[in-house]
Amino acid sequence: MKRFSGTCLRLLMAVIFFMVLLDGAVDAAVITTDTVWQGEVKVSDDVLVPKGITLTIRPGTIVKVVAAESTKTDPEYLSPLTEITIRGTLKVEGTEKAPVVFAGEEKKTGSWAGIIVDTGTAAMQFLRISSAETAVTLLDGSLQMKHASLSGNRYGLVLQGKKAVAALENSTVSDNDYGTCIFQGAQMTTKATLIEKNRTRDSYTASPKAFDPGVRLELPQEGPVSRRYADAVAMGETVWQGRIEVSGLVRVPEGSRLIILPGTVIEFVRRDTNSDGIGENGLLIQGRLIAKGTREKPITFRSAEKDKQMGDWDSINIMNSAESQNLIEYCRIQDSYRGLHFHFSNVVLHNSVLSNNYRGVQFQESLVDMKGNWLIDNKSGVQGRDSDLSFTDNVLYNNYVGANFFRTTLSASGNMVMGSWREGWRIREGVSTLRENLIDGNRYGLMLADMFYGSYNGNSFTNNLETGLSLKNADNVEVNGNVMSRNGITGLSIQESQAMIKGNQITDNAERGIGVFSFDGIITENNLAGNGRYAIDMDGKTDIAAPFNWWGGDDPARVVLDRRTDPNRGSVLADNPSERPFSFTWPLANLPTDTTWRGTIGVTRNLAVPAGAELKIFPGTTVVFAPATTLLIKGRMIASGTPADKIRFTSRDKKGAEDWEGIQLEYATGSIVSHCILEYAAWGLHSHFTNLVVTDSLFTNNTGGIRFRSGPVEIRRSKFEKNSIGIRSYLGNAVIRENDIVGNETGIFVREKGGGLFITRNNLFKNSNYNIRVGDFNNEDVPARDNWWGTTEPLETIFDGRNEPGIGNVLFEPYLTAPVATGAGVKL
Amino acid sequence: MKPVTLCLLLLLVLAMLSGLSFASAPGSLKAKVLDVDGKPVTGAKIFLYEGVNVRKPADFISPPSDQEGRVVVSLPPGKYRAVARIKQGPLFGPLTSGDRHSGEPTEVEVESGAEAGADFVVADIREIGQKRRSAVGETVRLHGRILDAAGKPVANAYAFASMAKEISDVPAFMSAWTDEDGRYELYLPKTGKFFLGANKQFPLPAGVAATVEIGSRPGKSDVAMDLAVTVY
């Protein structure tokens, strides 16, 4: 009996051992125990190796991955293609004689996602990976690769995140579209490794600028747990307040309501019975949920664990609740699998923060209103399908994928989608209208596919690491009045689409303004300038119509890559090129990221450049302000023209002073205004606490040329004429040197504390009231030596303490007897 | 080979080459084009494509639809993908503002000598956007602004509705907090009487009463109503 039991036990153990030693098809999604692959392994569904689990692949293993693009991606997965995702450990133990091979069953580039090491660890040797979208993606994890060959993929190796560290040894990355891409501060070391002969680029490194999403929601008040729930049914009206602990599933049946008062904290204990790394506790609302927090007293849903992890709890699920709105307002939802998840429901999500979730929001067949939310640091910000969605003024930042909508009627405006590690925004099918959204600093900005309607007007696609806007298989789409600028490779990518591409500002993209594979439509009245290699790169075979665009002053033949250079390409028919830029009305109210202006920019409302952002204005640019508009700079403005190509700030109406308000600088240190013309403003420049340099510029026909407080300010070689006041100083610290200040009513007005000024070697004359006037509140002498006053009696042109005792004197002696060759005299 | 036989053979070959066949009489497509409200559309054309790619000039284009929205086009037998379009501008090229389109192509099979039928609904993207907020289920959407006694919009307030005139601290139906524009949106059942109000406090303080009463709203899905009520 004993012997028999022992044999049974050994047999049982052998069975268990061989159960996890796979040789065959892999269908299971999540690997929950340490597993070994060997022989021929067919992967027909996503594979996930969670934290704490090791997948070992023995020498000679051939892994064939079945292509299966799905419109449904569960939150724990990262690609619509079949993927092998490692959050635990991957060991690939190939040998020289028996390498491990990963390939798509279809042998077509991009047929499967590739190996994604997501905060996990991978040690791989003697392997080959082909036909993937990206052979190996490393997201904040660790990768050691020896004797590897990555070829025949779209991307060979993509590393992302400051914590991503990769070491390659004796490996090759070749014959891919892109070899290696390193983003967001990832690190790679190589030894005896070749990265070469990749079709588009061998290597590419980029990082978006850091961005403060500006969350405005108070933190929760901590207090003792007031109620505890295991699995429970909340009948009737249930009111929660204080601190609630949930260690099961709380269900609110049909006809019942769960009302959560402001300031309530709901914590979910982690329960993971199937060891898939995903918590199971949560809420199921079949009645209605009223979670009506306030900004001062938000409601918090979070993990109860001390060491909170993404996926510690399941979700707030809302099912079949369409009678009236479920309200989720001023809430924090964090550490979950799917923060808010609903079907067939009417849901309002306003002013809430969803962070550190696998997916912030997921919905289908619902009526949805999302406004003013922050979706930050999730794997996926929001994903929805087959719904009606109003999506306004949300901030999506630092998610792996920001937003993903399928077959949805979508109206989206005023959103900021930034810093996504993959797509900022994906929209497929459905009807969508996007207006005045900022899509910036993502790897890919906005990807539109399979659209039969679409209106994308007045958006900004900027600073994305690869592509700003991509149209694929889109029909009847209008793309008007957008900014597509400063993207890492391409501003606009078009494939198999029919569209009107009109009136866009497509400038300063690192390689191409527009990349075209196939297009039936019209590209017209766009400003295409300053793109690194080509304004339009025609990759397809059929001709495209691109009449009447502005090509940045270039001959289109020089900035277009088409049949003229390569007979295998189609032609870009660039008839009637415009000699001047088309006036482009700036579409957004804020410029929160680095922005470039070229051509003619129309400002029709107040614009602001916040702290941390830079506005760079190119020589020859004209900025035209509508009445009563202001440009407020709290970041930095670099407006450096040239003697031949000045930058002009002017008014639309050109009637006279105060047509527009002016440029205001507040703590805008490092700002430069050089070779500029400022006219028709109330104040051309109005500066506070800004380290500002103004040179070689003309201020004319303003109420005031420059007014400043504090500084230091440097004003040189500039001309002030026909203003009421040329320069006004208040508690100023400035050098005013070698300027022509002539023909104003008052040349320089010193309101208060003029002792910090150094006014010298200027031509100050023919100002109808005074060349320098000291104000009533000034009590310091004003140094103004060695200027030319246009007279031998300068005192007659000065109003100071000699006229009104106690207000300080202008120290004008010695004075020059001939004008200075200032180098100003800028002509209109 | 006998000359007659040769001639017949030659005729057959010529017929095959020219695509003629005794069994290949043209068929036709009879279509009706409507707008999103179900009304017939005049002047729409059906564009037919023989292949999968509809983003190129069409292989066949019908005459414009008549006042009943009807159109008939003769076609060689075969399978087509069809879309309906009504364009103000040039025949080809992308749609512009005001143009309408039927969306995803419809597959149509035309048989020799037979008439196939298909209906199309054309829409402007703006019409679809306006229809977006249609009520879910049997509800009516009430929307407008919350105004104070001086008629100014009130921010950080919410509209509520109750079936009883005495309002509980958490009314049966509530809108989200308003923004600076004072705008609210409230979904209510289509039938029944409701008492409406607005407040800045949640839960409501004791003694709050509704000040507006609305009755049943059959046939309506969307009601605009500013709530000019005193905010407590």
DSSP B9: H
Q: Which two tokens stand for residue A753?
A: 């504390």
- The predicted model gives A250-267 an average pLDDT of 95
- B95:A367 CB<8 A: no
Residue A632 has a pLDDT of 97
Q: Residue A207: is its pLDDT beyond 80? A: yes
The nearest CA of chain A is from the CA of B54 a distance in Å of 9
Q: In this structure, what are the phi and psi dihedrals at residue A20, rounded to the nearest 5 degrees?
A: -95, 5
Q: Which two tokens stand for residue A460?
A: 């900004």
Q: How far apart are CA B128 and CA B105, in angstroms?
A: 18
Count of CB atoms situated within 10 Å of the CB of A553: 16
CB A736 within 8 A of CB A712: no
Residue A1 has a pLDDT of 41
Residue B223 has a pLDDT of 84
The nearest CA of chain A is from the CA of B209 a distance in Å of 20
pLDDT band (50, 70, 90) for residue B134: very low
Q: Is A54 helix (H, G, I), strand (E, B) or coil?
A: strand
Q: Residue A10: is its pLDDT beyond 80? A: no
The nearest CA of chain B is from the CA of A491 a distance in Å of 21
Residues of chain B found within 8 Å of residue A496, distances taken between Cβ atoms: 53, 55
Residue A15 has a pLDDT of 46
Q: pLDDT tens for residues A403-454? A: 999 999 999 999 999 999 999 999 999 999 999 999 999 999 999 999 888 8
Query: If phi over 0 gives left and psi between -120 and 50 gives alpha, with beta otherwise, what is residue A443?
Result: alpha
- The predicted model gives A650-666 an average pLDDT of 95
pLDDT band (50, 70, 90) for residue B100: confident
Q: Residue B124: is its pLDDT beyond 80? A: no
Q: Do domains B24-127 and B133-228 have the same CATH topology?
A: yes
- The predicted model gives A527-538 an average pLDDT of 96
Q: In this structure, what are the phi and psi dihedrals at residue A439, rounded to the nearest 5 degrees?
A: -125, 105
Q: Residue A398: is its pLDDT beyond 80? A: yes
Q: How far apart are CA A348 and CA B173, in angstroms?
A: 13
Query: Which of A330, A520, A524, A525 to substitute to test the interface with B, most B CBs within 10 Å?
Result: A520
- The predicted model gives A285-290 an average pLDDT of 96
- Percent of residues, chain A, with pLDDT higher than 90: 87
Cα angle A296-A298-A300, degrees, rounded to a multiple of 5: 150
CA A168: distance to chain centroid? 30
- Could you list the beta-strand ranges (E) of A629-731: 630-633, 636-640, 647-651, 660-666, 671-674, 676-679, 681-688, 692-695, 698-700, 704-709, 713-716, 719-721, 725-730
* B187 to A287, A346, B139, B172: CA distances (angstroms): 15, 9, 6, 11
Asked if the C-beta of A521 comes within 8 angstroms of chain B's C-beta atoms, the answer is: yes
Q: Residue A274: is its pLDDT beyond 90? A: no
- B125:A454 CB<8 A: yes
- The predicted model gives A562-582 an average pLDDT of 94
Q: What is the ipTM of this complex?
A: 0.84
* A361 to A248, A337, A375, B190: CA distances (angstroms): 21, 10, 9, 29
- The predicted model gives A696-706 an average pLDDT of 97
pLDDT band (50, 70, 90) for residue A807: very high
- The predicted model gives B79-85 an average pLDDT of 90
- The predicted model gives A810-822 an average pLDDT of 93
CATH number of B24-127: 2.60.40.10
Residue A95 has a pLDDT of 97
Q: Residue A782: is its pLDDT beyond 70? A: yes
pLDDT band (50, 70, 90) for residue B96: low
Q: How far apart are CA B143 and CA A214, in angstroms?
A: 30
- The predicted model gives B61-82 an average pLDDT of 92
Q: Residue B129: is its pLDDT beyond 70? A: no
- A329:B186 CB<8 A: no
- B129:A433 CB<8 A: yes
Q: How far apart are CA A569 and CA A565, in angstroms?
A: 8
Closest Cα partner for A114 from A134, A96, A97?
A: A134
Q: Tell me, what amino acid is at A485?
A: S
Chain B residue set in contact with A, beta carbons under 8 Å: 53-57, 93-97, 99, 101, 103-104, 123, 125, 128-129, 132-134, 136-137, 139, 156, 158, 170, 173-177, 179, 185-189, 202-203
Tell me the helix, strand and coil percentages in chain B, rounded to 5.
10, 35, 55
Q: Tell me, what amino acid is at A524?
A: T
Residue A70 has a pLDDT of 62
- B139:A388 CB<8 A: no
pLDDT band (50, 70, 90) for residue A370: very high
For chain B, the domains span: 24-127, 133-228
Asked if the C-beta of A239 comes within 8 angstroms of chain B's C-beta atoms, the answer is: yes
Q: pLDDT tens for residues A44-76? A: 889 999 999 999 999 999 999 988 766 557 888
Altogether, the residues listed in chain A come to a count of 828
Q: Is A716 helix (H, G, I), strand (E, B) or coil?
A: strand
- B175:A522 CB<8 A: no
Residue B20 has a pLDDT of 46
Residues of chain A found within 8 Å of residue B133, distances taken between Cβ atoms: 367, 388, 390
Q: Residue B56: is its pLDDT beyond 50? A: yes
- B95:A259 CB<8 A: no
Q: pLDDT tens for residues A95-142? A: 999 999 999 998 889 999 999 999 999 999 999 999 999 999 999 999
Task: Record the pTM.
Answer: 0.88
> Which of A229-238, A701-710, B208-217 shows the lowest per-residue confidence on average (mean pLDDT)?
B208-217
CA A595: distance to chain centroid? 12
- The predicted model gives A468-491 an average pLDDT of 95
Residue A19 has a pLDDT of 45
Fold of B133-228: Immunoglobulin-like (2.60.40)
CB A285 within 8 A of CB A291: no
Residue B125 has a pLDDT of 61
Residue A69 has a pLDDT of 63
Asked if the C-beta of A388 comes within 8 angstroms of chain B's C-beta atoms, the answer is: yes
The nearest CA of chain B is from the CA of A452 a distance in Å of 5
Q: Which residue of B has its CA nearest to A389?
A: B132
Query: Which of B36, B54, B55, B168 to substitute to test the interface with A, most A CBs within 10 Å?
Result: B55
Residue B207 has a pLDDT of 81
Mean pLDDT of chain A, nearest integer: 93
